[in-house]
Amino acid sequence: MGRKEANSDWKKSTNNIQEVFDFVEVLGSGAFSEVYLVKERSTGKPFALKCVKKKQKRDTIMKNEIAVLRRIKHENVVGLEDIYESRTHYYLVMELVSGGELFDRILDRGVYTEKDASLVIRQVLDAVAYLHKNGIVHRDLKPENLLYYSQDENSKIMISDFGLSKMEDNGIMSTACGTPGYVAPEVLAQKPYSKAVDCWSIGVITYILLCGYPPFYEETETRLFSKIMKAQYEFDSPFWDNISESESKDFIRNMMHKNPKNRFSTEQALRHPWIIGETARSQDIYHSVSVQIQKNFAKSKWKQAFNATVAINHMKRLQLAHAEAPAKQAQQGPVPDIRVVDLHLPWHLPRPPRPLRKGLNPHDLEPNGNLPDNGHMTLPPNASDPKSHYYPARANHGELSHSLTFAEKGKPAYHSEPANLNGTAKQYGTVFKASNGYAKSVQTGVCSVM
Tens-place pLDDT, residues 53-93: 888 777 777 888 898 999 999 999 999 999 999 999 999 99
Going by their DSSP bridges, the two strands 166-167 and 136-137 should be labelled as antiparallel
The CA distance from 185 to 193, in Å, is 10
Report the C-alpha gap between 194 and 173 in whole angstroms.
6
pLDDT of residue 85: 93
Q: Which residues pair with 146 in a beta bridge?
A: 159
pLDDT digits over 186-221, tens only? 999 999 999 999 999 999 999 999 999 999 988 888
| CA contacts within 13 A on the Cβ side of 437 | 5
Q: How many CB atoms lie within 10 A of CB 275?
A: 23
Look at residue 9 in the predicted model and tell me its pLDDT. 61
Mark out the alpha helices in 325-414 (DSSP H runs): 326-332
* pLDDT at res. 323: 56
What global pTM score does this model have?
Answer: 0.68
For CA atoms 226, 232, 236, 240, the dihedral sign is positive
Residues 99, 102: Cα–Cα separation, whole Å: 9
Q: Are 147 and 102 in contact (CB under 8 A)?
A: yes
Q: Nearest CA to 413 among 447, 440, 442, 389?
A: 447
Residue 197 domain-assigned (yes or no): no
**Percent helix / strand / coil, the chain, rounded to 5:** 35, 20, 50
Extended strands (E) in 383-426: 402-407, 415-417
Rounded Cα gap, residues 239 and 82, in angstroms? 45
Per the structure, the complete domain to which residue 413 belongs is given by 301-446
Please, which residues have CB within 8 angstroms of residue 84's CB and are 6 or more apart in sequence?
Answer: 11, 12, 13, 14, 17, 20, 90, 91, 93
In a domain, 73, yes or no: no
Among residues 116, 126, 140, 198, which one is catalytic?
Answer: 140
Query: In 3D, which of 32, 174, 162, 25 has the Cα closest to residue 98?
Result: 25
Nearest Cα neighbor of 347 from 73, 50, 65 is 50
Query: Would you call 342 a catalytic residue per the annotation?
Result: no
Q: Has residue 312 been placed in a domain?
A: yes
The whole-number average pLDDT for the span 271-297 is 93
Residue 107 lies in a domain: no
Report if residue 138 sits inside a domain. Answer: no
Mean pLDDT of 354-377: 41
Question: Looking at residue 335, what is its pLDDT?
Answer: 39
What would the pLDDT profile of 243-252 be if each residue is shown by its tens digit? 998 899 999 9
391: left (phi over 0), alpha (psi -120 to 50) or beta: left
At 176 the pLDDT is 80
Check pLDDT > 50 for residue 334: no
Please say if the pLDDT value at position 178 is more than 60. yes
Residue 37 belongs to a domain? no
Backbone torsion region of residue 310, taken as left when φ is above 0, otherwise alpha when ψ lies between -120 and 50, otherwise beta: alpha
Domain membership of residue 348 (yes or no) is yes
The H or E element containing residue 339 is: strand 337-342
Question: Band of the pLDDT at 447, cuts 50, 70, 90?
Answer: very low
Q: What is the CA radius of gyration of the chain?
A: 21
Provide mean pLDDT across the span 119-146.
96
Residue 148 to residue 135: CA distance in whole angstroms: 25
Q: Which residue has the higher pLDDT, 287 or 306?
A: 287
Is residue 414 over pLDDT 50? no
CA 382 to the chain's CA centroid = 27
**Contact, 114 vs 248, CB < 8 A?**
yes
CA distances in angstroms from 104 to 67, 322, 332, 354, listed in the order given = 31, 41, 41, 17
Is the sign of the CA dihedral 365, 38, 127, 124 positive or negative?
positive
**β-strands 12-13, 80-85 pairing:** parallel
Which residues have CB under 8 Å from 201's CB, separation 6+? Answer: 138, 140, 141, 142, 178, 182, 183, 184
Q: What is the pLDDT of residues 224-245, one digit of tens each?
A: 999 999 999 999 999 999 999 8
In the predicted model, what is the mean pLDDT of the chain? 73
Residue 28: per-residue pLDDT? 81
| Residue 60 counted as domain residue | no
Q: What is the rounded distance in angstroms from the CA atom of residue 444 to the CA atom of residue 33?
A: 13
Note the pLDDT of residue 96: 94
Contact 229, 188 (CB under 8 A): yes
Indicate the number of domains in the chain: 1
Measured between alpha carbons, how far is 440 from 53 in angstroms, rounded to an integer?
A: 26
Share of the chain above pLDDT 70, in %: 63
Q: Does 115 belong to an annotated binding site?
A: no
The pLDDT score that the predictor gives to residue 63 is 84
pLDDT at residue 304, as a whole number = 46
Cβ(69)–Cβ(61) under 8 Å? no
